[in-house]
A and B are shown apart, each in its own frame.
Chain A
Amino acid sequence: HSVLTQPPSASGTPGQRVTISCAGSDSNIGNNHVNWFQQLPGTAPRIVIHNNNQRPSGVPDRFSGSKSGTSASLAISGLQSEDEADYYCAAWDDSMNGRVFGGGTMLTVL
């Protein structure tokens, strides 16, 4: 099981705002930056949020990230059908001396 805990699934209707959580501990999220990845079916992952809340160029401003203590969240507003994908959080873990991922959240646009 994953060091970072995400809900296995989330859903929303077009135009809605959805939030995906990522729970960790002091050794990872509590002390290090969080990154979020989007993975469309059959493709390589793509980073959508880096350094907790920074959006890489080319990522729509509908995507936003936040961090508080040992938890982080990815929010997607104005949900669109093309947002249907798996989403993963990731952070460095000081205890494991390595990068850890969440188990992933499958987002369904109803």
Chain B
Amino acid sequence: QVQLVQSGAEVRKPGASVKVSCKASGFTFTSHDFNWVRQAPGQGLEWMGWMNPDSANTGYAQKFQGRVTMSRDTSISTAYMELTDLRYEDTAVYYCAINRYYFMDVWGEGTTVTVSS
């Protein structure tokens, strides 16, 4: 079945970087755009950007431009989101989601990223 499986929880120090992966299965990897959304503890959803896995074209939310990079490896059907210069406020659950039939209708389970000294 259609599935997005994300990498495990990460702990990083302020100023470091983190790269979260999202492995796709059950569909043609290059057929659907990927979105990345994060949710800080007890807070709402925040859209970070999108990537077309076929062309590798990306679009980032203004807030994250310069710090985020979305990429993919089509040979292993995996999308990535890398966030650099981490701050305490980047502590959140990071989700990948695809636009299969509707906008963000298939989601990964989320990856917890904790920024702590």
Q: Show the binding face of A for B, using Cβ within 8 Å.
A: 2, 35, 37, 39, 44-47, 50-51, 54, 56, 86, 88, 90, 96-104
List, in ascending order, chain B residues with CB within 8 A of A104's CB.
44-45
Asked whether any CB of chain A lies closer than 8 Å to the CB of B15, the reply is no
* CB–CB A35/B59 < 8 A: no
Q: Which of B47, B101, B109 contacts A90 (CB 8 A)?
A: B47
Bound together, the chains give a CA A98 to CA B50 distance in angstroms of 9
Assembly CA distance A47 to B100 (angstroms): 12
Q: Does A101 lie within 8 Å of B44, measured CB to CB? A: yes
Known: A44-B95, A44-B110, A88-B44. A37 touches B104 (CB 8 A): yes
Bound form: Cα–Cα A46–B95 in Å: 12
Q: How many residues of B contact A (CB 8 A)?
A: 23
Interface residues of B in 24-49 (CB under 8 A from A): 35, 37, 44-47, 49
CB A65 to nearest CB in B, in angstroms, measures 12
Contact B61 A102 (CB under 8 A): no
Interface of A is mostly: strand
Q: Which residue numbers of B lie inside 8 Å of A, CB to CB?
A: 35, 37, 44-47, 49-50, 59-62, 95, 97, 101-105, 107-110
Distance in angstroms from B67 CB to nearest chain A CB is 14
Asked whether A98 lies within 8 Å of B59 as measured between CB atoms, the reply is: yes
Counting chain A CB atoms within 10 Å of each CB, the highest count among B44, B47, B101, B109 belongs to B44
A39, A96, A97, A99 interface centre (most CB from chain B within 10 Å): A99
Known A-B contacts A35-B103, A44-B108, A46-B107; A96 and B62 likewise in contact (beta carbons under 8 Å)? yes
Q: Is the CB of B47 within 8 A of A98?
A: yes
| Residue from B45, B62, B101, B109 in contact with A97 in the complex, judged by beta carbons closer than 8 Å | B62
- Determine how close the nearest CB of chain A comes to the CB of B99; give it in whole angstroms: 10
**Quick one: which of A2, A44, A51, A90 has the most chain B CB within 10 A?**
A44
Give the complex CA separation of A44 and B109 in angstroms: 6
Q: Which of B45, B50, B60, B105 contacts A56 (CB 8 A)?
A: B105
User: Can you list 16 A-B pairs with a CB-CB distance of less than 8 A?
Assistant: A2-B44, A35-B103, A35-B104, A37-B45, A44-B97, A45-B45, A51-B102, A56-B102, A88-B44, A90-B45, A98-B49, A98-B60, A98-B61, A99-B47, A101-B45, A104-B44
